């Protein structure tokens, strides 16, 4: 579950636009063969996010 975003600018807006906000349940469903990006299930859609873009997303296990 997402507990906060420590990202600013355009990337923050993009993540919010795809539904990555406080309280959203996120599940990692796969990683590319080289490890970056990873695929996440967010509100019923699978979204690939690079590691450098996801570092500012704070999550807590449920």
Q: Which pLDDT value is given to residue 62?
A: 74
Q: What is the mean pLDDT of the chain?
A: 93
pLDDT higher than threshold 90 for residue 61? no
Q: Which pLDDT value is given to residue 15?
A: 93
pLDDT higher than threshold 80 for residue 59? yes
Instruction: Give 2-59's CATH code, choosing from 2.30.30.90, 3.30.420.40, 2.40.40.20, 3.40.50.2300.
Output: 2.30.30.90
Query: pTM value?
Result: 0.84
> For the chain, what is the HEC assignment?
CEEEECCCCHHHHHHHHCCCCCCCCEEEEEECCCCCCEEEEECCEEEEECHHHHCCEEECCC
pLDDT in tens, 21-31: 999 999 999 99
* Nearest-angstrom CA–CA distance, 42 and 26: 5
Opening angle at CA 4, ends 3 and 5, nearest 5: 150
pLDDT in tens, 39-50: 999 999 999 999
Tally the residues of the chain. Answer: 62
Domain boundaries, the chain: 2-59
């Amino acid at each position: 579950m997402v507990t906060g975003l420590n990202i600013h600018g355009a990337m923050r807006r993009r993540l919010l636009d795809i539904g990555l906000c406080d309280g959203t349940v996120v599940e990692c469903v796969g990683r590319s063969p080289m490890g970056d990006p990873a695929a996440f299930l967010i509100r019923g859609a699978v979204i690939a996010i690079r590691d450098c873009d996801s570092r500012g997303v704070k999550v807590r296990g449920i």
